[in-house]
Each structure stands twice: as structure tokens, then as C-alpha cells.
Amino acid sequence: MTNMASDIVTAFVAAWNRVDMDGISALLADDVFYHNIPMDPIIGKQATMAFFASFPPFEACDWQVHHQVATGNIVMNERTDRLCFNGVWIGFPVAGIFEIRDGKIAAWRDYFDLAMFEREMAKALAQPTA
């Protein structure tokens, strides 16, 4: 038996892996609460999508979900988020918690090591662009 909340998060991960920003946006509630735990939270779909747009452009994305569990409207996953910048793949472990409301992601919290992410980004961005 599948869990609808888990299916929504699986579709969200698939949208990231396609680098489909419209697909990502479509799965977020208008008032989504998004929190990369080492950083300040962001409230609202528009602000969340603006945050993503502020990142350096990446050519590819590969979120590798190792485990995902769901109960009711709560989904938790353990994953490795991989992004490709300037032909260089970076990766870092993430634990994500999603709350689903009315078929949309209403809250999304990711726990990760910000210093590791920053080191990985520095390596990728130090590469000359093609």
C-alpha cells in the first residue's frame, strides 16, 4: 500500500532530478514553510522559488533517496543531494522532513552540514566555466 504523502515527496524529488522548477513549484503550497535548518526559514512559495533562483545555475541534479518513511501527512527521507556545477558534481547528506496538506508540501525542513555544503560549492565554483 502506498502513502499519498510519500508519493508527493517522491514526485518532488523527481522534479528536482529533472531540474524542473515549474514542477517543483507546483508541488509547494502557496504558504509553504521552508527551512534549511542551518539557515533562516523562508515562508511562501514565491520566496522559496526566489531563493532557489538565487543559487548559481547548475546543469544537473541527482537527489539519491536512501530511505523514505511516511505516516499520515508526514514524510521523512535520508538522501544524498548531488548537484553539478561547471561539470563538477558535489554531494552532501541530507535528512528531510515534509508535511503535506491538500496534496501540496506545506512544510519542508532539511537538516545538513552547512560547512560541508559550502566546501563542496567552493570546489565546484572554482572550476572554469565551459
In a domain, 51, yes or no: yes
Q: Per DSSP, what are the bridge partners of residue 107?
A: 33, 99
Residue 129's pLDDT is 61
In a domain, 23, yes or no: yes
Q: For the chain, how many structural domains are there in total?
A: 1
Give dist(CA 37, CA 4) in Å, integer. 25
Domain harbouring 54, CATH code: 3.10.450.50
Q: Which residues are catalytic?
A: 81, 110
- Region 68-74 average pLDDT: 96
Burial class (CB in 10 A: 0-12, 13-18, 19+), 24: buried
Please provide the average confidence, as pLDDT, over all residues in the chain. Answer: 94
DSSP state letter for 44: S
Residue 10's pLDDT is 98
Cβ–Cβ < 8 Å for 79, 94: yes
Decide if pLDDT at 1 tops 70: no
In a domain, 114, yes or no: yes
In a domain, 130, yes or no: no
Residue 130's pLDDT is 55
Residue 128's pLDDT is 67
- Structural domain of residue 18, as residue ranges? 4-125
Higher pLDDT, 35 or 120: 35
In a domain, 104, yes or no: yes
Secondary structure of 48-109 in HEC code, one letter for each residue: HHHHHHCCCCCCEEEEEEEEEEEECCEEEEEEEEEEEECCEEEEEEEEEEEEEECCEEEEEE
Give dist(CA 117, CA 41) in Å, integer. 17
In a domain, 105, yes or no: yes
88-110 confidence digits (pLDDT tens)? 999 999 999 999 999 999 999 99
In a domain, 18, yes or no: yes
Nearest to 54 by CA among 21, 5, 30, 102: 21
In a domain, 79, yes or no: yes
Torsion over CA of 21, 26, 31 and 35, rounded to 10 degrees? Answer: -40
